[in-house]
Amino acid sequence: MNLSDIASHWVALHETLGLGGPIRDEAHYAQLLEVVDQLMDDVPGLESGPMGALVDVLADRIREYEDRVHPWPAQPLAPHELLHELMVEHGLTQSQLPEVGAQSVVSAVLAGKRALNLRQVKALARRFGVSVEVFAG
């Protein structure tokens, strides 16, 4: 083991990804999410290889940042409240949710006048990368 080589690689990785400390801001957060996406898409056998360990480190940093900056509410939200929060977080308007339906349907759901059906819940869970159970209310 050559400690000098290890240190130089760590410094290069830190300078590129900022892994030596917590995520600094939204831009740094977005950068690390993009790196994870690329690794997941482009590295065969990721789970069993050394790059899988890098994903684990990145995931820990991302999770810590999300817990600190974007915490989930302590009380579960009603499905329409959760949908509203996800729309705000992702900068979406009612017309940008084809998974739910027309803008009038989205409006009724957000007002709590109409419940989401199973097809809508599955599509929204896929879009936002959450479990379908979070829409159970």
Q: What angle do CA 33, 34, 37 make, to 5 degrees?
A: 90
Percent of the residues in the chain that have a pLDDT greater than 90, as a whole number: 52
The domain in which residue 61 lies consists of: 3-69
Number of domains in the chain: 2
Q: Which residue has tokens 């929060």?
A: 85
Same domain, 91 and 113: yes
Encode pLDDT of 37-66 as tens digits. Answer: 898 888 887 777 888 888 888 999 999 999
d(CA 1, CA 120): 54
Question: Would 74 be classed as within a structural domain?
Answer: no
Rg (CA), the chain: 19
pLDDT score of 33: 93
